[in-house]
Structure 1
């Protein structure tokens, strides 16, 4: 698990419709081998910009790693992924963005941490810059060119998904209107993704409800009692007078 929290892995801009296609294949009952083969053929014609054109195997192969968050996650993430897939069955493709967000966040915490830094900046100002996000993320992952490059691809993925909007000045971004997540059970699954993205595997419920990494979403208020009733992978720990901690249960 620790290795997952240290890796970067976002080596190119990820288009949402690539994620959609992956889930559609899973819902159709295709095997991991079949999905890999289909993605291999599909992605060689898909540019990062969202257009079409031939790409080299080394380039498009990098995208498959992110897409495995859905069809071949780490073993400890399989129950979480299975519940996310259950939600996908009941939602339209247009409503899958929160599911893709949490699936990537759990498998690639770097994505979650970029969102957290962006969200923190948006709490202070209406526009943010690449330089501001990169400066904060380098404090966590180190001052390496690969960190800045992966961070840039992550931010550009946010733009491609409509989470961020390019501002007039190059390298500046504004946030889009938040996506409402009305289903409390889906919100709990989002909280679980945050716990997977956190190396300690535990976060106070109040901090989850207002987590800056969820800046693209509007979440409902949820009680600790409701969490304990609806998700058996999370432990609800009460401390102090009114504080509640959510903890990933040990396998």
Structure 2
């Protein structure tokens, strides 16, 4: 799991409709080769925004590789989570954004960490700047040029997904209205995504449900027992008088 948590990996702004396309192709039963071809064709006919020229072959390949890694060919330990996320997408398509958020967070913990730093800053102030987010990420990943560049792709993805809004000032963002996650099974799935994104694979219940990486969402209040009884992959560990720790089974 260490390699996944240390990687940055997202070399392109990821648009929400691209995630939908990848998941839909998987749902209709195409094999990996067929999905890759379909995604290349899909992205070759799209522009990231109206000001961009046609997507270059290299940039498109980066995007397709990211989408394949997220939905089609995730690491083996993520397959059960991927399958559960796909089932949830079929059952509650209206909550697709939250499901995709969980999936990309598990596969690319860098996305989760950019979101976590963004959410922390938004808890303190109404607006957040790209520079503030990147400075906090450098404390975690080191002052590498790739951190700055790839973090910008993730932040622009947040804007593309409409969970952050551009403000009047360049490089400054505001929070969008949060999405309420009322379906318990989806909330549990999102909790699992956080455990997969955290290197230790465990977290106190309160910190998990209120994780700033979920800043675009409002998760319901749940007990550790409620979660562990409904999840085959999450265990509960009690410590102290009232504290509950959630951890992935087998870790």
Q: How does 1:112-151 map to 2 (within 5 A)?
A: 112-151=112-151
Aligned to 1:74: 75
Deviation at 1:76, TM superposition (A): 0.2
TM normalised by structure 2 equals 0.96
Deviation at 1:48, TM superposition (A): 2.5
TM normalised by structure 1 equals 0.96
Secondary structure of the residue that 1:192 maps to in structure 2? Answer: helix
Question: How many angstroms apart in 2 are the aligned matches of 1:115 and 1:14?
Answer: 14
Question: How many angstroms apart in 1 are the aligned matches of 2:36 and 2:200?
Answer: 32
Question: How many angstroms apart in 2 are the aligned matches of 1:49 and 1:204?
Answer: 40
Question: How many angstroms apart in 2 are the aligned matches of 1:61 and 1:105?
Answer: 21
Aligned to 1:186: 186
Which string of whole-angstrom CA distances, capped at 9 and with x for unpartnered residues, describes residues 32-67 of structure 1? 111011112211232222788632221111112221
Which ranges of structure 2 fall in alignment gaps of 5 or more residues?
none
Question: How many angstroms apart in 1 are the aligned matches of 2:50 and 2:64?
Answer: 15
Deviation at 1:71, TM superposition (A): 1.0
Q: How does 1:9-28 map to 2 (within 5 A)?
A: 9-28=9-28
Aligned to 1:235: 235
Range 196-205 or range 94-103, more displaced: 94-103
Aligned to 1:220: 220
CA RMSD of aligned residues (A): 1.4
Question: How many angstroms apart in 1 are the aligned matches of 2:33 and 2:52?
Answer: 24
Which string of whole-angstrom CA distances, capped at 9 and with x for unpartnered residues, describes residues 158-212 of structure 1? 0000000001111110000000100111101101000110001000111011110
Aligned to 1:8: 8
Question: How many angstroms apart in 2 are the aligned matches of 1:65 and 1:87?
Answer: 23
Aligned to 2:108: 108
Question: How many angstroms apart in 1 are the aligned matches of 2:33 and 2:50?
Answer: 25
Judge conservation of contact 1:45–1:53 (CA < 8 Å) in 2.
no
Q: Displaced runs of 4+ in structure 1, greater than 4 A?
A: 50-53
Judge conservation of contact 1:66–1:104 (CA < 8 Å) in 2.
no
Question: How many angstroms apart in 2 are the aligned matches of 1:51 and 1:98?
Answer: 28
Question: How many angstroms apart in 1 are the aligned matches of 2:6 and 2:228?
Answer: 30
Secondary structure of the residue that 2:124 maps to in structure 1? Answer: coil
Judge conservation of contact 1:116–1:213 (CA < 8 Å) in 2.
yes
Aligned to 1:171: 171
Secondary structure of the residue that 1:123 maps to in structure 2? Answer: helix
Question: How many angstroms apart in 2 are the aligned matches of 1:53 and 1:86?
Answer: 36
